[in-house]
Amino acid sequence: MFELIDILSGDREAHVDRALELVRAGYVIVAPLENGYVFLADAFIQDAVRTIHAIRGDDLGVAAQVLVGSTDVLDGIARDIPESARLLMEKFWPGQLSFNVLPSQGLSWDLGDDGRLGYICVRVPSQGFVLDLVRKSGPLAVASTASAGSPPVLRTEDVHVNTGVLQRIFGQGELTPAALSTVISANGKTLTVLREGAVSLEELVQVVPEITGPKTTK
């Protein structure tokens, strides 16, 4: 039986350190992000990442996203990041703005797509507990505890998973519904908004006027 840890009570740093021990040991944990509970694992431990996909029942080729603690860490796992993307990172990170970027050459990991997508989707989270964790752990693979196409899971009691593959749920009660992150493709000279979410297109254009997306021709 997995253990439910209330991160709003007790020693917050001790909870973060316990989560750190688990992900470094190759376990999958559950924790709260801005818009729902998510599965987390060390992005460099392939068995742990595979476990996330197995729990979710993902189709082959589905890639987990990646959380990092800072742009310094991003520079260790990604290459050729446009200066315009860096401006947006400086403005909106930590926060709900994700970037599809080119992974560093020779990077040895498999987020579920065997590297076939040619990019990784990455951001710095704004949620306190996970941000504290990823700043200690290094890159974390992340995926919603909700199945594909389902709304985010807002309560720990709605996380349904085989207890044999899950060690801990780090909970903070029922979460408030929130928008998904905005996703930007930063693989070329021009940034493209792929999904408008918590950060609006209007906010992005104020920083990078030349950004393009489904709702603008700029």
Using H for helix, E for strand and C for coil, what is the string for 130-149? Answer: HHHHHHHHCCEEEEECCCCC
**Count of H-run helices and E-run strands, the chain:** 6, 11
Bridge partners of 140, per DSSP, are 42, 67
Confidence at 1, pLDDT banded by 50, 70, 90: low
Domain residue extents for the chain? 3-207
- What is the C-alpha separation between 112 and 67, in angstroms, rounded? 15
pTM for this predicted structure: 0.93
3-207 placed in CATH 3.40.50.410: no
- What is the C-alpha separation between 53 and 110, in angstroms, rounded? 12
Per residue in 12-71, pLDDT tens? 999 999 999 999 999 999 999 999 999 999 999 999 999 999 888 888 888 999 999 999
Per residue in 158-216, pLDDT tens? 998 765 667 799 999 999 999 999 999 998 778 999 999 999 999 999 999 999 986 54
User: Residue 35 is which amino acid?
Assistant: N
Q: Does 154 score more than 50 pLDDT?
A: yes
Residue 102 backbone class (left: φ over 0; alpha: ψ -120 to 50; beta: rest) = beta
Question: Tokens 């050459």 appear where?
Answer: 105
